[in-house]
Amino acid sequence: MEHGSFEDPSKATFSFTDEDHTLANAVRFTLNQDPRVTFCGYSIPHPSDARVNIRVQTTGDPAREVLNDSCQDLMLICQHVRGTFDQAISKFKAEKGLSPMDIKK
Amino acid sequence: MGSPTESESMDTESISTQGESIDSPKIAKISVWDLPDVPQGKLPPHLELQRTRVMCDFLAPTNTQNIQYSGAYASMGVDNSVQFEQFRNNFKVEVVRLDDDELEFDMIGIDPSLANAFRRILIAEVPTVAIEKVLIANNTSIIQDEVLAHRLGLIPIKVDPRLFEYMSENDVPNEKNTIVFKLHAHCEKGGDRLRVLSSELKWLPNGSEFILGTESQASNSSAKPKTYTSFSCSQDSLPEFSNGPIAPRDADIIIAKLGPGQEIELEAHAVKGMGKTHAKWSPVATAWYRMLPEVVLLRDIEDDEAEELVKKCPVKVFDIEDIGKGKKRATVARPRACTLCRECIREEGWDKNVAVRRVKDHFIFTIESTGALPPEVLFTEAVKILEEKCERVITELS
């Protein structure tokens, strides 16, 4: 859900249900890394509600697009983390001469 | 990155001409950023140190904040944004230790907001299967029904949760969302007391054996009586479970102790869930990270002082090396062992000799699995969950 104005799409607050610090803090990081962002922050209005508000203000681009790009960035980062991690694990296992762990054991 | 912007360089010029006669035309104006000891396109060393290290000073840690904003150093012509390319070149993972239940690895070149997201997901959002419903037919032990049910819930079950579906409120228990265990323990009269262990939980691949109360009145001898679950097929006929029965991960967890004549007869229904609902669904005993400690000797510590320093450290971070001519010098041999107790800088003046710091983008990540999934799989799952969250936001935005 987006709360913004029609006149100025460069500033908006996005409200996500069923999300918390986990996503909001990570997205705030990727947003902050984007030079188009002049301000961003998040808040959890009430601890009993599973809801988080993310505020994005940009230098001119629509806030929606900038947030979208930030999420894409975060996804790319995650994919890279996963790839690197898997490589490191298989390298470690190969060095130790371990066979892949049998989870049905 | 690049040179400072117009207005900023003007500011700095006016600073550099302070104290000089303003209308003296002979002195060439030089920006402070053009002075030889100010590195171009890089932060000055003291700011770089503040950006990348937490100083563990004698009184308190300082520079604990992370500078995330891309334009934080714009006035110095330094770009603080992390482009994906740059991240990809710098990010590293080094596995330190890996066994059945535990994994320790170094994650280098990542922001704490992401490391923390992975940790939070591991604890609260990676699903597992745990006992949720307990149908007690008979319990004459001294453990109350609700305490017994709670204890059963906390037993880790060795089964891959990815093979199961979540059970929503109105779902009927079926072979895709429920695992049924039976426990029947009886202590003989006149015998010894009996320990009921988790190994006595027996998997019922065909579902519940307890017949629904409504069924007994309308007894229909030809049809199979309705039980508390409605499995359409036996779970052990499914290829995923054909290799071995589903059982608790540890066989030696004491569930209850029975005195002579006491008996427990129950059925336990396990379902898929997440740690944020109840800790019994958390796949990890703990998942945590710490920043890499960095111990730096600010000057050469020699001879008696070196001996003193080695003695100061309770975790033996320092060693002594021989530098010839009967002289000895202290070295930092095991910085990873440092607990940042700051014992080495407690005595007056010693903070001028030793600096204890933490590297802000180097995380020593430890995952202790409860056993349902191996720890390396748990981490991969956690990263996938963060990806799914992003995907959800992207679809919601478009």
Domain boundaries, chain A: 2-95
Q: Quick one: closest CA in A to B103, which residue?
A: A89
Chain A closest CA to B397's CA: distance in Å? 7
Which of B108, B386, B392 to probe the A interface (max A CBs under 10 A)? B386
Which residue range is the domain that position B320 belongs to?
44-126+283-397
Provide the whole-model pTM.
0.85
Homologous superfamily (CATH) for A2-95? RNA polymerase, RBP11-like subunit (3.30.1360.10)
Quick check: B387 and A75 CB within 8 A? Answer: yes
**Strand (E) or helix (H) holding B308:** helix B303-312
Q: Is B33 among the domain residues?
A: no
Say which DSSP state B352 is in: G
Q: Which of residues 12-71 of A touch B (CB under 8 A)?
A: 14, 16, 19-23, 25-29, 32-35, 37, 64, 67-68, 71
Task: Single out the residue in B280, B305, B322 at which a domain terminates.
Answer: B280
Q: Is B114 an 8 Å CB contact of chain A?
A: yes
Same domain, B266 and B349: no
Q: Token pair of B162, please?
A: 């990815």
Q: What is the mean pLDDT of residues B124-136?
A: 95
Identify the bridge partners of residue B108 per DSSP, sorted by sequence position: B92, B362
- Please compute, for residue A1, the number of CA atoms within 13 A of its CA located in the half-sphere on the CB side: 9
Same domain, B143 and B253: yes
Q: Quick one: closest CA in B to A75, which residue?
A: B387
Q: Is B6 among the domain residues?
A: no
Q: Which of residues 67-86 of B touch A (CB under 8 A)?
A: 68-71, 79, 81-84
Q: Is B398 an 8 Å CB contact of chain A?
A: yes
Same domain, B249 and B287: no
Q: Which residues of B touch A27 (CB under 8 A)?
A: 390, 393
Same domain, B300 and B260: no
Residues in chain B, total = 398
Q: In terms of pLDDT, which residue wins out, B5 or B296?
A: B296
Quick check: A74 and B386 CB within 8 A? Answer: yes
CA-based Rg of chain A, rounded to a whole angstrom? 19
pLDDT for the residue B277:
93
- Please compute, for residue A55, the number of CA atoms within 13 A of its CA located in the half-sphere on the CB side: 9
Quick check: A103 and B113 CB within 8 A? Answer: no
Q: How far is the C-alpha of B250 from the C-alpha of B246, rounded, in Å?
A: 12
pLDDT for the residue B6:
42
When the pLDDT of each residue in chain B is averaged and rounded to a whole number, the result is 86
Q: Is B343 among the domain residues?
A: yes
Same domain, B135 and B274: yes
Chain B closest CA to A50's CA: distance in Å? 11
pLDDT tens, position by position, B41-77: 778 888 889 989 999 988 899 999 888 888 888 877 7
Question: Is the ipTM value over 0.95, yes or no?
Answer: no
pLDDT tens, position by position, A3-13: 766 678 899 99
Interface size A-B, in CB pairs within 8 Å, comes to 128
What is the total count of domains within chain B? 2
User: How far, in Å, are B186, B202, B250 from residue B180 at the CA level?
Assistant: 20, 8, 17
Chain A closest CA to B121's CA: distance in Å? 7
pLDDT tens, position by position, B88-100: 999 999 999 999 9
Q: How far is the C-alpha of B65 from the C-alpha of B52, rounded, in Å?
A: 10
Identify the bridge partners of residue B267 per DSSP, sorted by sequence position: B135, B182
Provide the pLDDT confidence category of residue B229 given band limits of 50, 70 and 90: confident
Same domain, B314 and B260: no
B28-37, B213-222, B268-277 — which is least confidently predicted? B213-222
Q: What is the mean pLDDT of residues B290-315?
A: 92
Chain B closest CA to A75's CA: distance in Å? 5
Say which DSSP state B327 is in: -
* B104 pLDDT above the threshold of 80: yes
Q: Which residues of A touch B94 (CB under 8 A)?
A: 88
Q: Which residues of A touch B374 (CB under 8 A)?
A: 101, 103
Chain A closest CA to B119's CA: distance in Å? 9
